[in-house]
Amino acid sequence: MSQIHALSDDQVAGELKKMTAFIRQEAMEKANEIRLKADEEFAIEKSKLVRQEQASIDSSYEKKFKQASMSQQITRSTVANKSRLRILSARQELLNRLFEDAEKKLGQVSKDKKKYQAVMKDLILEGAYALNEDKLQVKVRKADNDLTKKAIDEAQTEYKNKMGKDVSITIDESDPLPEGSAGGCMIVGTGGRIDINNTFQERLKLLESQALPSIRVTLFGENDNRKFHD
């Protein structure tokens, strides 16, 4: 029968030291494992937070950049539009002055009687050809009556030569043009129901309307933004 030998105090102390050392080693290894795990998780979380903040900063910067770019575009567009409007306004003022000066000079045309009579004849003929009637009346300034009678004689002769028939043209002295007008005439037909306004002021208005595009090109050049031309 085997015998159980009791451990001496020194043996017990030795065994306790071994157990304590083992437990301490286990605890240190576990603590080291926990620390490594914590460092790893910290690094992962830190990297995640850094990426999130970086993405947030990039998004904020991109948004601000777009806003700044849009603001810059709006500013450029506003400045360009204001500049364009100033140019258009200046051009229109120049055109207005041009036609105002032309209107002021209309009155000088009638001062040269010979040229004025020739112009009056052509104006009367133009109305006669357009109305194509046997009897017509013309309205002129009282001061132009004598000159107009000579122009009528020339117009009637030329009309007959070209149209092969006579036309009777008389001056309507009961309703003359205002003395303040620049000159020219009105040709009236169909018993007063139809008239052609060939006064200088009216012809200038027609010129302003019809010739304005070519005048613009002459003064300012071709419009690069215009796609179609008449």
**How far is CA 210 from each of CA 162, 204, 207, rounded to the nearest angstrom?**
28, 10, 5
Share above pLDDT 90 across residues of the chain, in percent, rounded to a whole number:
35
What's the rounded Cα separation, in Å, for the pair 70 and 141?
Answer: 64
Asked which of 109-113, 154-158, 190-194 is least confident by mean pLDDT, the reply is 190-194
135-139: strand order across its sheet:
168-171, 135-139, 184-189, 194-199
Q: Are 185 and 140 in contact (CB under 8 A)?
A: yes
Residue 61 confidence class, pLDDT cut points 50, 70, 90: confident
pLDDT-derived band at 1 (thresholds 50, 70, 90) equals very low
Q: Is the pLDDT of residue 2 over 70?
A: no
Predicted structure pTM score: 0.57
Q: Please report, for the chain, the start and end positions of each structural domain, with discontinuous segments joined by +.
A: 9-110, 112-217
Of the ranges 27-36, 68-77, 102-111, 122-131, which one carries the lowest mean pLDDT score?
102-111
Identify the pLDDT of residue 142: 95
Contacting residues for 200 by C-beta, under 8 A, at least 6 apart: 106, 109, 181, 182, 183, 184
What tens digit of pLDDT does each residue of 118-148 get? 999 999 999 999 999 999 999 999 999 999 9
Q: What angle do CA 20, 23, 25 make, to 5 degrees?
A: 105
Give the C-alpha distances (Å, rounded to integers) separating 128 from 177, 187, 222.
19, 8, 38
Tell me the average pLDDT across 138-160. Answer: 96
Question: Per residue in 4-37, pLDDT tens?
Answer: 567 777 787 788 888 888 888 888 888 888 888 8
For the residues 39-52, what does the mean pLDDT come to?
87
| Helices 212-220, 200-210: inter-axial angle, 10-degree rounding | 60
Q: For residues 82-97, b (16+ Cβ closer than 10 Å) or e, as one string?
A: eeeeeeeeeeeeebee
Distance CA 155, CA 120 (A): 9
CATH code matching the domain that covers 112-217, chosen among 3.40.50.11750, 1.20.1250.20, 3.20.20.70, 3.30.2320.30: 3.30.2320.30
